[in-house]
Structure 1
Amino acid sequence: MKKTLLSLLLLSSAIFASANSEIPRPEYPRPQFERTEWINLNGTWSYEFDFSQSGLERSLFKSKGFDRPITVPFCPESPLSGVNHKDFINAMWYHRKISIPQNWDGKRILLNFGGVDYKSTIYLNGEEIFVHYGGSSSFAIDITAYVKAGSENDLIVYVQDDLRSQLQTAGKQSRRLYSYSCLYTRVTGIWQTVWLEAVSKGGLKLCRITPDLDNKQFVFEPVFYDLDLNATFKVRVLDNGKEVYSQKVPASDNAFISAKIKNIKTWSPESPFLYDIEFSVLDAEGNTIDKVKSYAGMRKVELRGKTFYLNNEPYYQRLVLDQGYYPDGQWTAPDDEQLKKDIILAKEAGFNGARLHQKVFEQRYFYWADKLGYLTWGESASWGMDWTSPLAARNMITEWEECVARDYNATSLVAWSPLNETWKEDIDGQRARLTNDLYFITKRLDRTRPVVSASGGYHAGFTDIYAEHTYVQDPIELYKQLSLDENGYPYIHHPNFSAPYKGEAYMIDEFGGIQWIKEMKTAEVAGTDEFWGYGKPPRTIEEFYKRLEEQVNVVLSMDHITGFCYTQIVDVELEKNGIYTYDRNLKFDMERIRKIFSKSREQAKLEVAKMLSERNAR
């Protein structure tokens, strides 16, 4: 009876989706590597929780369907999944039928997962075909040998998510039953798009794109599935539809294409110009056997001394902390428009970028940052992990490598930050070893971007940007804290546990966090158990604006600080210190907010001098 009811539910859902053309998150999930032959597998799947983890003994991998429906790609903890289960889920099973089109015969068939938290074992028709570790990294499986064109197949995904083990990345997921302070509802299982894709056997696997502004060229590094001595690889670069570069080379993993561009146009937050790019693989007769759409921006980021440069000009980063949580989808935005809206809201508040915090954001977020002109920092979901455990370190390194490789081409991404606040006493040097390993691995994978080894303290010895956090609320005390000491050294939160400052670029990449709830007229009416933030809340809205402006003025006025990151863009669950509410509605007069965060450093220095003078006169 249960199976029959489920079948009716699935059929009704399929008919409804077909009639309304409503597949959740229907857009192509990988905008810098887009093909036309693909099938979105989002929508209604069936699932079963496996709290006793007996599913393998019960042969659930052979299932033809489970008893309850779930909407993918939303995690079961989210309302949008249709499940909304808030307790711990150590294991669960997913099922859906997948049909392989007849015209895919003779092609390589790929099964792609944008993100599954944490360990996922993939079965087709009862046979285990792949195991992946890592809740944040994307992965693809070549299923050509397991399916036939025109066939229908049973796809099973077995998920294991032992959050409390401290052996896996978790980000801001709570290890208690309920959310508390700055730790939030958990994310289990599939949380990004799942899709099928057909590719020629000799198709393009990937292509790294490196902008070289000084030489006015893009450097392309292709990698192919099967190498054919007679095949060629073609690159076209277009400026608003007009071809500005084209070249063909042998289709080889040893191929490098240096595409010189005349009258080069640069990318920046103020002018986010993107070139369209077409990759093609041609057979011996010149027929196109694979075609991929892409894009790239011409931009250069580097540190010169203690200053951040964009396109060979000093550039002050005015970042905001973005944790990428949504009240109805948890880690998953309800739709593509919401990703775009989040960036627009931040830019309207006066920020030119975001530190993407304790979550590896999906590729479509980077797409909108590229399109709209918005700097981003890439960060892992490192919290919840025991940084002193060698097994946890192994899990972390593998996942991080996959994330860096995946997002290398993102134009907006200007810095990597693998760790955040590793505030735990070291054991046998394991924390320091992991921190330094991640720094050098990231530099080897990407020499074009600076690396912040451990944001907010416990730097282990190597970092390109010395990034510190402070939530001192009083502006005078903040000024004293952030001023250089008598020896010319900046503020270090944990000097006994961090490597000495050696003259690196210096940023305050967390500060502020001022509590304010939109509905209350004064903070005194709210109990401490009802919301959370840093410091004592302001008593009135005018006190909020004054504290905010004076804090921002202090940070802007310091010549040794090359940029800031304010906490945060939206409220998240109990944490009520966002510029906007959790559902992305207004809390403040945005014209005042924008003027504060976009203020010139010269003006900030004048206002800080006035503030100090007035305080001294009292």
Structure 2
Amino acid sequence: MDLGFTALYSRAVTTTTHAAADAGTALDRLPLASRQDGTYPRPQQLRERWASLDGPWDFRHDDADAGLDAGWASGWAADAADSREITVPFPPESVASGIAEPGFHPVVWYARTIRPADLEAAGRSAAAPRVLLHLGAVDYRATVWVDGALVGAHEGGHTPFTLDLTAHLGDGTEHRLVVRAEDDPHDLTQPRGKQDWHEDAHAIWYRRTTGIWQTVWLEAVPTTSVDHLRWVPAGPSAVDLTVRFRGPVVPGSRVRVALRFDERDEDLGAVEVTTVRATSTVDVTVPIARQRNGQAEDELTWSPEKPRLVDAVVSVHDAGGALLDAVSSYIGVRSIGVAHGAFLLNGQPYDVRSVLNQGYWPDSHLTAPSSDALRREAELVKELGFNACRVHQKIEDPRFLFWADRLGILVWGETPGAYEFSPTAVQRLAREWMEAVDRDVSHPSIVTWVPFNESWGIQHVADDPAQQAYSRALTDLTRALDPSRPVISNDGWEQQNTDIVTVHDYEGDGAALARSYADDAARERIVTGIAPSGRRQLVAGWADAGQPVMLTEFGGVNYQPGAARADGWGYTSAADGDDWVARITALYDAVRASDFLAGSCWTQLTDTMQETNGLLTADREPKVPIEQIRRAVTGER
């Protein structure tokens, strides 16, 4: 092989003990990744110990941007005149944060003391001396100090970053951690998704999210440690793994991977490779020998109906066999594709029945109220009768993706868009999107990537060659990063090199919708002509290539039981609960009657601020008995 290592062996084994024989009980203590409780912030790379830094922090607005010159990077006294307490990770615009100020505040500061107890909880020891600070997401640009010393910075409001604090931490002393966040509400080149640039939320946009909005946590690791795992299916009987390391991996080091199917108490095999030069990454192909029996391969595959997960232990050892580091992970054995106008799951046509999910809560905005709330969100998607979820204009908390993996939900992975087209916007969105794909590529639940939606940030893509080039390039870049999934070039509107033709249509009459999607003639009218959006479906000379066609936004029927919001709206409205259910049923009957639709996505899961077209209220309560909604969605009678 030419990637810096040689395979020592690759064979099925009856137990995983050979991969752990010289590791003592260290590997035995690793949690089973597929059976975790949903609190770990990085669910496909578990270690035994970690420490959450969520909770009370000191907080200051810095509207005049004076904090740097005033020395706030070293921290400040809790009784400073303008210092307040915020509950991390809730954004300061939200009620849950304790600040609840939704106005324009482009610079904010956070401070917290790291105590010996935090380091102990994170697992700091002689064997794990390096302390990593993980920040799940800070919108938009973050800078971090410890005791006034600059540790690092990150740009991108929806993706995680990690900083090594080791050089800044002494033994048994307290240290002041400070985070400064910049989030210009009027900078339309920042990828922002549904965050409003107006002071008050309007139309389809919502309150802003500034600063820290996902979990902050500490983790102690060895000097040489596993930094990132990338799992990609390699056919029905193998999986490819790329292991990225932090710290030195010298020639002669051994990387071992063992797979286990816990549901059946079955060891699936293991593989070991040895490095032949110093490296920061190692590629491993892990065979799953039992999958070579084609008559039995569906006993292990992942799907929404049978979301089986395979556990994995990835460990790195020195040349003498001593354990350097180990993490617990999981995979889903499944394939995704498109062919003959169908969406394929595990090689078979699969009808995608999806729901649009804004991932927004009334009191905590883009941040879920708790890890349990993320689990409940996934459960509700299933209970309502959906097998898929389009997380809209948001890179969702990885813990939601864990529950999608565990419970069986197909997920559309979609970038939060920028609103402006410019070189700066292109660079920012491309960089953040690459980080998002890298973060989430291993989740079996994610089945397609969506780098653009409704021409946001490429408003003139129908005619502007530069915007056309940008759309094509980011779509192809996504394929280069992950060739295992289809890519939707511009969901809903004005598409070019797309693997799935996706249409948005808020027709409220079921009979009219049925006529629009009845047969092949209807398909040709939509794909090759003017779509229901009033825009050309394919642009820049792109021809119909027989791709699957999906109706990825429809419905949006407004119904407000009880006290109604004066500003509440939907694309159409129902008179009462019975009328609302009848409208949902008629629209879904139209989709079910189509000869060519390969899938659909209902707008939307929950009411979200002024949008009162959810199947659930903003507090996640069904508007009518959930069985009625499920029957309308699934057609079950």
- Give distance in 2, aligned partners of 1:34 and 1:158: 28
Equivalent residues in 2 for 1:181-580, closer than 5 Å: 181-214=203-236, 216-225=237-246, 226-240=248-262, 241-251=265-275, 253-262=281-290, 264=297, 265-382=300-417, 384-386=418-420, 388-422=421-455, 424-426=459-461, 429-459=465-495, 461-483=496-518, 484-485=520-521, 488-490=524-526, 492=531, 493-496=533-536, 498-499=538-539, 500-502=542-544, 503-519=546-562, 529-535=566-572, 537-580=573-616
- Give distance in 2, aligned partners of 1:394 and 1:270: 40
- 1:129-159 residue CA offsets vs partner (Å, 9 max, x unmatched): 2221111111111233333343422211110
Partner SS for 2:283: coil
Does the C-alpha gap of structure 1 residues 549 and 151 become closer, same or farther in structure 2, counting only changes over 3 Å? same
Q: How many residues align?
A: 566
Does the C-alpha gap of structure 1 residues 150 and 432 become closer, same or farther in structure 2, counting only changes over 3 Å? farther
Displacement of 1:594 in angstroms is 1.1
Partner SS for 1:55: coil
Q: Which amino acid aligns with 2:569?
A: W
Partner SS for 1:262: helix
Does the C-alpha gap of structure 1 residues 473 and 188 become closer, same or farther in structure 2, counting only changes over 3 Å? same
Displacement of 1:50 in angstroms is 0.6
**Higher mean displacement: 477-486 or 180-189:** 477-486
Displacement of 1:254 in angstroms is 4.1
- Give distance in 2, aligned partners of 1:26 and 1:557: 39
Aligned partners of 2:517 and 2:595 also within 8 Å: no
Displacement of 1:501 in angstroms is 4.7
Aligned partners of 1:181 and 1:533 also within 8 Å: no
Q: Which amino acid aligns with 2:568?
A: F
1:97 paired with 2:113, answer yes
Q: Which amino acid aligns with 2:169?
A: V
- Give distance in 1, aligned partners of 2:466 and 2:221: 43
- Give distance in 2, aligned partners of 1:300 and 1:324: 26
- Give distance in 2, aligned partners of 1:162 and 1:430: 26
Does the C-alpha gap of structure 1 residues 322 and 65 become closer, same or farther in structure 2, counting only changes over 3 Å? farther
- 1:254-277 residue CA offsets vs partner (Å, 9 max, x unmatched): 432322241540111111111111
1:63 paired with 2:59, answer no
Point out where structure 2 has 5 or more consecutive residues left out of the alignment.
1-36, 292-296
Q: TM-score, normalised by structure 1?
A: 0.87
Does the C-alpha gap of structure 1 residues 497 and 272 become closer, same or farther in structure 2, counting only changes over 3 Å? closer
- Give distance in 1, aligned partners of 2:413 and 2:47: 25
- 1:213-261 residue CA offsets vs partner (Å, 9 max, x unmatched): 43x1222222222112232111111111542212222155343232224
Partner SS for 1:44: strand
Does the C-alpha gap of structure 1 residues 510 and 282 become closer, same or farther in structure 2, counting only changes over 3 Å? same
- Give distance in 2, aligned partners of 1:27 and 1:479: 44
**Higher mean displacement: 331-340 or 284-293:** 284-293
Point out where structure 1 has 5 or more consecutive residues left out of the alignment.
1-24, 521-525, 604-618
Q: Which residue of 2 aligns with 1:42?
A: 54
Displacement of 1:467 in angstroms is 0.8
Does the C-alpha gap of structure 1 residues 501 and 555 become closer, same or farther in structure 2, counting only changes over 3 Å? farther
Aligned partners of 1:213 and 1:298 also within 8 Å: no
Q: Which residue of 2 aligns with 1:613?
A: none
Does the C-alpha gap of structure 1 residues 379 and 255 become closer, same or farther in structure 2, counting only changes over 3 Å? closer
Q: Which residue of 2 aligns with 1:73?
A: 89
Partner SS for 1:330: coil
Question: In the alignment, which of 621, 625, 631 is matched to residue 589 of structure 1?
Answer: 625
Q: Which amino acid aligns with 2:337?
A: E
- Give distance in 2, aligned partners of 1:254 and 1:160: 36
Q: Which residue of 1 aligns with 2:186?
A: 164
Partner SS for 1:163: coil
Q: Which residue of 2 aligns with 1:121?
A: 143
Q: Which residue of 2 aligns with 1:82?
A: 98
Does the C-alpha gap of structure 1 residues 559 and 150 become closer, same or farther in structure 2, counting only changes over 3 Å? farther
Aligned partners of 1:457 and 1:494 also within 8 Å: no
Partner SS for 2:172: coil
Displacement of 1:378 in angstroms is 0.6
Q: TM-score, normalised by structure 2?
A: 0.85
Aligned partners of 1:64 and 1:154 also within 8 Å: no
Does the C-alpha gap of structure 1 residues 456 and 552 become closer, same or farther in structure 2, counting only changes over 3 Å? same
Displacement of 1:278 in angstroms is 0.8
Does the C-alpha gap of structure 1 residues 266 and 219 become closer, same or farther in structure 2, counting only changes over 3 Å? same
Does the C-alpha gap of structure 1 residues 26 and 578 become closer, same or farther in structure 2, counting only changes over 3 Å? closer
CA RMSD of superposed structures (Å): 2.2
- Give distance in 2, aligned partners of 1:497 and 1:307: 19
- Give distance in 2, aligned partners of 1:494 and 1:425: 14
Aligned partners of 2:38 and 2:375 also within 8 Å: no
Q: Which residue of 1 aligns with 2:169?
A: 147
Displacement of 1:124 in angstroms is 1.8
Displacement of 1:355 in angstroms is 0.5
Partner SS for 2:190: coil
- Give distance in 1, aligned partners of 2:347 and 2:553: 26
Displacement of 1:487 in angstroms is 8.6
